[in-house]
Structure 1
Amino acid sequence: MFLAIRAYLGWRQTWMTSDTASMSSSSDFEAARIALGQQLRGLRRNEGLTARQLAATCGWHESKVSRIENGKALPSPADIRTWAVACGAGSRADDLIAMAANIQLMYQEWRHLERDGMRRVHDQVQPLWDMTRTFKGYAQCLVPGPLQIEGYTAAVLRGVQRRRAIPDDVDEVLRMRAERQRILREKGRSFTIVLEEAALYYRIADRQVMTSQLSRLFVVSAMPTVLLGIIPRSADRSVMWPVEDFWIFDDREAQIETVSAFIDIKQRAQLSQYQEAFDHLKQQAVFGSDAYPLIAEALQCV
């Protein structure tokens, strides 16, 4: 199950490393197509069909099956439904069609959303943050936005702006991000946030900012709306290893952070995988006073 998570978004590399600069929207799009092709291949093999047999059943050339399975082509909704029915898995068609539509939307966002800067992305996701009551967040290498101090957020946004070579609207977005943090103090909302311990050590900003940011974690963990957990580096990861950063909103929608944008997950099958992944990650974390020594140790290393 968790292999499917990494297959769907397995192209994601660690933010803030030199490797991210070379990654393009086209390579991300290709990886997502490959993930869809792997799921379709699984349907075919579960039915015991060869690629040639499936092509004959669907009235296609065998090369079409190969191109789809290897991520060289994105199948149409009609192609996916025909494929699923031929494999005796018609009930899977809607989820797979939605996944293909999401891939296409994802590609358009990467090409267009940030052409004028980062504000458009912020404006698009803000209504979801406003309406959500229950947040679940996981971060592998960055302190999540709602917990960030201004200096840390500025360093992250500046890094993104320079790396993607997009118009500079950082100051405007920084003000909007600061305003979003009001929801941490609003009654009726709850945040369960799980961090990898490694996220405490990545030097995103200068020493003074990092010291203030880590100190801020003590403050937010005491808020009645926040349950902050940290997964120790010594934790047994045989069941659930580090994955891509993500948020789950009211258990209805997930957003996964990528190098260039984000992906919305609303399909039941994929959403349930992230919900289950979060539960496993949470089980590996320590909370409250048990997490304080990990933060304190990181502070000593700044």
Structure 2
Amino acid sequence: MSTFPTSSVQEARTALAARLRELRLDAGITGKELASLCGWSVAKSSRIENAVTAPSDGDIRAWCTACGADGQAADLIAANRQADSMYVHWKRLQRTGMKQLAETSTKLYERTRLFRVYASHVMPGYLQTPGYATALMGTIAGFRGTPDDVREAVEVRMRRARVIHEGDHRFATLIEENVLHHRVGSQDVMAGQLGNLLAVMSLPSMSLGIIPAAAAREGVIWPFEQFTVFDDARIHVELLAAKVTVTAPGELDVYLRAFARLTELAVHGAHARALIVKAIDSLK
């Protein structure tokens, strides 16, 4: 039985289940008759039609055949796979390494005009230095047991990060102060990474805010998972085990409101620079 970690996934599953139900009704058969034609239990048909169980490609083909709608199977399978893509385990995404995953997001980065990023545990990808990215990806590959293509993946990430210097892109970036102190790589790597933050603050396209560890959060918002908003239309949420893609309007609104609240906590300009310099000094 499937569980759904976000409402976006649930809505996609529910929409697919409704389309399957319509096919059955249009065919004039009962759930029991459909189960018999497919060679299933009635309970299985009911679970699929009520979006309790996610159907396999084979289940969809069998359903369409039983309803005399083979021509619709391909579209329904595509919709089913799209729902699957909304919650994908990192182990599956990175089964061939991290380079391919970085490459698949390049087009999304190039066409996005407004990025909103909340970083609660590591530096945002487009602000990472090669040294930081290498240390981070090496740790990830070791922890998840994925193929080690770190060098190639870092090269792709660096090319993707050119969006902060090229084209008509804007960036609203919020970083929790503790991220400045999370040691990723050597002391020199961290010093270089923190120095890079100071450098990018001067870019006209970049708004960089640091959320002080001592910020009063009562009535505002608490620290939570790292996420990136692409043009108010799509959000990638980074969980420990999986990447979640959010597209449902109601859920998009939740993250956008959270970002607005977090922005109220952040300091910018000289105050943000002072926190970064403090982190650099702590490395000595």
Whether TM-score is above 0.5 comes out as: yes
Residues 235-257 of structure 1: CA deviation (Å, up to 9, x unaligned): 11112010100000011100011
Task: Give the aligned partner of residue 20 of structure 2.
Answer: none
- Helix, strand or coil: the match of 2:50? helix
| Residue in structure 2 matching 1:219, options 173, 188, 199 | 199
Task: Give the aligned partner of residue 287 of structure 1.
Answer: 268
* Alpha-carbon distance change, 33 to 149 in structure 1, aligned in 2, over 3 angstroms: closer
Percent pairwise identity: 33
Aligned pair count? 221
Q: Is the Cα contact below 8 Å between 1:33 and 1:103 reproduced in 2?
A: no
Within the alignment, does 1:244 sit opposite 2:244 as a pair?
A: no
**Displacement, 1:101?**
7.7
**Structure with the greater alpha carbon radius of gyration:** 2
Task: Give the aligned partner of residue 95 of structure 1.
Answer: none
Within the alignment, does 1:150 sit opposite 2:121 as a pair?
A: no
Task: Give the aligned partner of residue 94 of structure 2.
Answer: 114
Q: Is the Cα contact below 8 Å between 1:197 and 1:230 reproduced in 2?
A: yes
Q: Is the Cα contact below 8 Å between 2:121 and 2:176 reproduced in 1?
A: yes
Residues 1-45 of structure 1: CA deviation (Å, up to 9, x unaligned): xxxxxxxxxxxxxxxxxxxxxxxxx9xx858289989xxxxxxxx
| Distance in 2 (alpha carbons) for counterparts of 1:274 and 1:251 | 10
- Helix, strand or coil: the match of 1:213? helix
| Distance in 2 (alpha carbons) for counterparts of 1:101 and 1:274 | 24
**Displacement, 1:122?**
1.5
| Residue in structure 2 matching 1:79, options 43, 47, 50 | 50
- Helix, strand or coil: the match of 1:227? strand
Task: Give the aligned partner of residue 177 of structure 1.
Answer: 157
| Distance in 1 (alpha carbons) for counterparts of 2:256 and 2:242 | 21
For structure 2, the 5+ residue unaligned runs are 11-30, 32-46, 53-79
- Calculate the aligned-residue CA RMSD, in Å: 2.8
| Distance in 2 (alpha carbons) for counterparts of 1:101 and 1:181 | 29
- Helix, strand or coil: the match of 1:291? helix
Task: Give the aligned partner of residue 34 of structure 2.
Answer: none
* Alpha-carbon distance change, 35 to 192 in structure 1, aligned in 2, over 3 angstroms: closer
Answer with 182-191 or 194-203: which moved more.
Answer: 182-191
For structure 1, the 5+ residue unaligned runs are 1-25, 38-58, 60-74, 82-99
Residues 146-199 of structure 1: CA deviation (Å, up to 9, x unaligned): 111110000110011101111111111111011111110124210000000000
Task: Give the aligned partner of residue 148 of structure 2.
Answer: 168
Q: Is the Cα contact below 8 Å between 1:194 and 1:231 reproduced in 2?
A: yes
Length-normalised TM-score, structure 2 = 0.71
The letter for the 2-side match of 1:236 is A
**Displacement, 1:107?**
5.5
**Displacement, 1:103?**
6.6
- Helix, strand or coil: the match of 2:204? coil
| Residue in structure 1 matching 2:184, options 187, 200, 204 | 204
Q: Is the Cα contact below 8 Å between 1:32 and 1:103 reproduced in 2?
A: no
Residues 59-99 of structure 1: CA deviation (Å, up to 9, x unaligned): 9xxxxxxxxxxxxxxx64x3159xxxxxxxxxxxxxxxxxx
Q: Is the Cα contact below 8 Å between 2:7 and 2:251 reproduced in 1?
A: no
Length-normalised TM-score, structure 1 = 0.67
